[in-house]
Amino acid sequence: MEKLRTIDSHTVLYGVFGDPIRHSRSPIMLNRAFQETGVNGVYAAFHVKPEELGEAVRGIKALGYRGVNVTIPHKVDVMNYLDEIDEGAMIVGAVNTIVNEAGKLKGFNTDGIGYVRSLKEETGIELKGKRVLVLGAGGAARGVAYALAKEGASCIYIANRTRERAVELAQTIGAFTETVGLGMDELEDVVDQVEFVLNTTSAGMHPNVDELPLPLHLLRSHHLVSDLIYNPRITRFLRKAEAIGARIHGGLGMFIYQGAYAFEYWTGTPAPVEAMRQVVEQSLTE
């Protein structure tokens, strides 16, 4: 029997800002977390265009929202509007979670820690000493590359269509481990040297499910291939990798754990991870 929830004048407000946003499963997942834990909160999705981001963030304070998640394409630009930024988020230069502490907005990045927790739990990989290829250099790549470096990856290659962005991110992460920035046309040289390939781009996300982030001939059977996309649950990229004998890891666990960490920052209550996973999995089959 589901617990009934009442929205009243004590209900605390939360949400997610993105463009686009209607595909987001965050409201389903976090409202289930509030319901499961008895926290009097409600979480909604807000379509915020880039030119409206500053006004939207000021609205968090004006309306007394306790917390907001930030997704594509706002994770980097949102930092300009916050009062304080957590050290990890500052280093990676991307924020995906905002906590409103009595009118002071503090930014965090739960992408990286959420991703690593999911990767280790679901694959058992030991990251120490591993060589990794990260595809993409956007906000998600920043958080994840930092977390992989902190976990002891021995070398991280970052490949991006705009090579300059990859080089710039490699310089940032290079403070923590050996890091190399590349253009997508330079991948031939590194694929055989890495054990682990990770897609952080939106290539293959619903509705563009046929897009691939990497030419398939570059995948090897010894690779662990991971994708941050969770809709579809198994991307075409992962299906093709599995077909050549590579091990695969999807993005659902990262999505759940980044949300779980955000929930805990906002409420101080342990996140009901299994209930969150169940409701998201169910929504993806509908």
Domains of the chain: 12-109+255-285 (3.40.50.10860), 112-250 (3.40.50.720)
Residue 163 annotated as lining a ligand binding site: yes
**In this model, does residue 1 exceed pLDDT 60?**
no
What b-and-e string marks burial along 1-24, b requiring 16 or more CB atoms within 10 Å of the CB? eeeeeeeeeeebbbbbbbbebeeb
Residue 161 annotated as lining a ligand binding site: yes
188 burial (CB, 10 Å; 0-12 / 13-18 / 19+) is exposed
Residue 137 annotated as lining a ligand binding site: yes
Quick: pLDDT tens for 22-79. 989 999 999 999 999 999 999 999 999 999 999 999 999 999 999 999 998 999 999 9
Q: Which one is catalytic: 3, 49, 75, 240?
A: 75
Residue 152 annotated as lining a ligand binding site: no
| pTM score, whole prediction | 0.87
DSSP-assigned letter for residue 104: E
Give the contacts of 232 (CB within 8 A, at least 6 positions apart). 204, 206, 209, 284
Q: What percent of the chain has pLDDT over 70?
A: 99
Average pLDDT, the chain: 95
Predicted local confidence at residue 189, as pLDDT: 87
Q: Is 75 a catalytic residue?
A: yes
Other Cβ atoms less than 10 A from the Cβ of 63: the count is 10
